[in-house]
Amino acid sequence: MHKEDYSGMTQSLISDYQRGRTRRRLKDAQQWSGCGASVDMQLTKPEVALLILDMQNYFLKSDSHAFIPAAEAIIPRIARLRKSFLEAGHPVIFTRHANTVDNAGMMASWWRELMSDDNPLNRITDDLSTEGCHVLTKPQYDAFYGTALTDMLKGVQSLVITGVMTHICAETTARSGFVRGFEIFFTADGTATYNLDLHRGSLAGLSHGFAHIVTCQEAEVLL
């Protein structure tokens, strides 16, 4: 799909969400099921951290086969959240995905190539500064798996999740954080993936039993 086409879909999603249509759809799904936290719920646990997942050139450069066109649109919003969290004294953690043959597991058979540490596209984009932040290398979709993330989050009770891809690393990390006892705030316009169906599917599934779906602006207000 051409970049300009997907960009238009991304803007449509953000506009749709902020007008309340997606929010109402998610609420309807929760009411139908009889369970799920309200997406209007305010932050109830004050110690909050920001996770910025895999904003690497591998996904952000147009000459990469893994390029996510929609990811460019979320950079300014993530940058603003990063600044707000740091100014408020809350931790900001970037993840950087990297694999070896030994730690790739099933990813080695699922994807046509592994993103190795020495891949020149492995770097976090220069458009997002890591100064004052933690940078964590992860080997799997789940940022908690095989990493020191749980230890880094001691004292933290709530997580705001941003980055790529919505339906893979971001969603997996959100679910993993939930079962570890963290309250999850998942940004609808601070995450991105390859198409709108995958993105919407993640938001609907997460809102049912794992996360509060918020915009980046709403997440900033939580501080």
Whether residue 165 has a cis bond before it, omega within 30° of 0? yes
Domains of the chain (ranges, CATH numbers): 3-36+47-221 (3.40.50.850)
Tell me the C-alpha distance between 215 and 190, whole Å.
7
Enumerate residues 6+ apart whose C-beta is below 8 A from 174.
159, 161, 184, 186, 206, 210, 211
Lowest mean pLDDT across 30-44, 122-136, 162-176, 201-215? 30-44
Q: What is the mean pLDDT of residues 179-208?
A: 93
More confident: 117 or 172: 172
Task: Tell me the CA end-to-end span of the chain in Å, nearest whole number.
Answer: 37
Q: Are the beta carbons of 75 and 117 closer than 8 angstroms?
A: no
Total-model pTM: 0.82
- Amino acid, res. 85: F
Tell me the C-alpha distance between 164 and 179, whole Å.
21
SS3 (DSSP) at 56: strand
Statement: residue 153 has pLDDT above 70: yes
